[in-house]
Amino acid sequence: MQMVRQTGEIGLRREPRLGYVTRMAGHPPAPPSLPPETIFGRLDPGGPGFTRAEDFEAWDQEDGNPLELIGGWVLPMSPGNAKSGTAFGNLYAALLPIVRSRNWSLTQGALHRLPRPQNTVVYPDIALHAAAEIPYIPGTESVGRVPDLVVEILSQKTHERDMAPRGAKFLAYQMSGVREYYYTWPDGRDAAGFTLQNGVFVPIAKDGEGFFASPLLGKSLRLVEAAVR
C-alpha cells in the first residue's frame, strides 16, 4: 500500500496490480522528444513494447513489482527497502509542517501522469504540490497536475534514470515543468538539487551542512538526516 496525502489529510490507497514479471536488461530507443543519449536504466525486453499512458493506467500492478512508463516504455522500479523507506519517511515528516501551514499538498509514492514526453506515468517518491487540491485524471488513479517539487531516493534499479544530466526521469521532470527536483541515495551520497530556470534544471548549491536553499520553500532543505530550516 502507498501512503498519500491529499488536501491536508493522510490516507492509504492500494495501487493496481500487474500480472507479469519484468526482467532487468536492455535499453529502449529514446522517444522523439528525448535526446538519443537518454539513459533509461533497466528494462524488460520481453514486456509489451510501446504502451500508451491510458492503457498503462488500466493495468493491474503488483505491490512488489511496481512499474513506470516514460515516453511509452515500461520500466521496472525498486519496491524499496528499510533504508530507502526511512529516508523518504523522514523527509516526508520534515516537509509536512510547512506544507500544512501553507495549505499545500504532499504525496508519497502516488502515480503522476506527466505531460512530457507523451505517455509518461511515474511514481515520484515524494511530490509536493503548491496547491490545496490535487486533480486526478478521470477514470484513473493518476494525479493530473505536475508537481512543484519532487524528491527521489536512489536505488540500484532506478538511479540511472533518476540522475542528471541524461536520466529519462530527470529529463521528464525538467520537460514537464517541475520547479525543483532533488535526489539522493538513502545514506546521503550524491545528494543533488535543481531549480528550473528557462526550462532547464540548474543545480542548487549545497552548503557545508548538506542543506539546499529552496526557492519554492523559501527555506533550506536537507535530504538525509532530513530537516527544513
> Beta partners for 201?
196
Give the list of residues 6+ apart from residue 156 with CB closer than 8 angstroms, or none: 78
Res 157: pLDDT: 82
Q: What single DSSP character describes residue 59?
A: S
Res 62: pLDDT: 81
Range of the structural domain that residue 95 is part of: 2-14+77-177
Res 24: pLDDT: 35
The percentage of the chain sitting over the pLDDT mark of 70, rounded to a whole number, equals 86
Q: What is the pLDDT of residues 167-189, one digit of tens each?
A: 999 999 999 999 999 999 999 99
Q: What single DSSP character describes residue 7?
A: T
Q: How far is the C-alpha of 91 from the C-alpha of 199, rounded, in Å?
A: 26
Domain-located, residue 222? no
Residue 3 scores a pLDDT above 60:
no
Q: How far is the C-alpha of 156 from the C-alpha of 42, rounded, in Å?
A: 10
Res 194: pLDDT: 98
Residue 6 scores a pLDDT above 90:
no
Chain mean pLDDT for the chain: 87
Residue 145 scores a pLDDT above 50:
yes
Domain-located, residue 145? yes
Q: What is the pLDDT of residues 94-127, one digit of tens each?
A: 999 999 999 999 999 999 999 999 999 999 999 9
Mean pLDDT, range 20-31, rounded to an integer: 50
What strands, in cross-sheet order, belong to the sheet with 73-76?
73-76, 67-70, 120-122, 112-114
The confidence band for 46, taking pLDDT boundaries of 50, 70 and 90, is low
Nearest to 115 by CA among 135, 138, 144, 137: 144
Res 70: pLDDT: 95
Which has more confidence, 22 or 75? 75
- Check whether the bond before 32 is cis (ω within 30° of 0): no
24-38, 66-80, 92-106, 132-146, range with the lowest pLDDT? 24-38
Q: What is the pLDDT of residues 48-96, one digit of tens each?
A: 889 999 999 999 988 778 899 999 999 988 877 888 989 989 999 999 9
What strands, in cross-sheet order, belong to the sheet with 200-203?
9-13, 2-6, 105-108, 126-129, 149-153, 180-184, 192-197, 200-203
Domain-located, residue 59? no
Domain-located, residue 68? no
Res 79: pLDDT: 76
Domain-located, residue 48? no
Domain-located, residue 163? yes
Domain-located, residue 90? yes
pTM: 0.87
State how many domains the chain has.
1
Which has more confidence, 81 or 214? 214
Which has more confidence, 15 or 93? 93
Contact 115/82 with Cβ under 8 angstroms? no
The percentage of the chain sitting over the pLDDT mark of 90, rounded to a whole number, equals 71
Domain-located, residue 229? no
Res 9: pLDDT: 33
